[in-house]
A = this chain, B = another copy of it.
Amino acid sequence: MTSAESSPPSDSQSDEAEALRKLSVPDIEDIIGYKLRLAQLLVFQDFLETFSELRLRPAEFSVLVLIARSPGLKQTEVAERLGIKRANFVALMDGLERRGLAERRKSANDKRSHSLHLTPEGHRFAERMLAIWKTHEQRFVDRLGGREARDKLIELLDRLLDTEHKSTSSR
């Protein structure tokens, strides 16, 4: 099972430990990006498990949410808002269309573009989806310690995402 040595192996350990002191290497747990990645992976993992029976992935969920709130958006608009390359959006939308959840409608004024909409079935699906999503989201609000903590997290993440980085105090 576990090897008999509970203390770490001591090759040239002391030399390296000495070198470490000069380096002041950060604890990986204190690194913002590392922790953000762990948290994101955890939430997405929970999402995948929560939505396994609906066979819904995060990207598909976000597309359905967006066209439910803003029906009629052009395909490229939806893709750009979600940070999906329009080339990659095609297969995703094909899947939603094949499942009868969403549809492309040819625009009359611009025959190049498609406007996106939920189908009636997609609307019923969205109801189930959002009910399930609430349990998923609430799970993490609870872990955070309630709505205030959740709001604080969103606020801090928004600060990270704020494109107005005033490098100096000017502007």
Interface residues, chain A, with chain B CB atoms under 8 Å away: 3, 5, 8-13, 16-17, 19-20, 23-28, 30-44, 47, 58, 62, 65-66, 68-73, 81-83, 105, 107, 109-110, 115, 117-118, 123, 126-127, 130, 133, 137, 139-145, 149-150, 152-154, 156-162, 165
Sample 21 A-B pairs with CB under 8 A, ordered by A number: A9-B72, A11-B72, A11-B115, A13-B71, A16-B71, A20-B68, A23-B126, A25-B68, A28-B69, A28-B82, A32-B140, A32-B153, A33-B43, A33-B47, A35-B161, A36-B36, A36-B157, A37-B40, A37-B44, A139-B165, A143-B160
Instruction: Give complex CA distance A77, B54 in Å.
Output: 36
CB pair A40 B40 closer than 8 Å: yes
CB pair B160 A68 closer than 8 Å: no
Rounded to whole Å, the gap between the CB of A74 and the closest CB of chain B is 9
CB pair B23 A154 closer than 8 Å: no
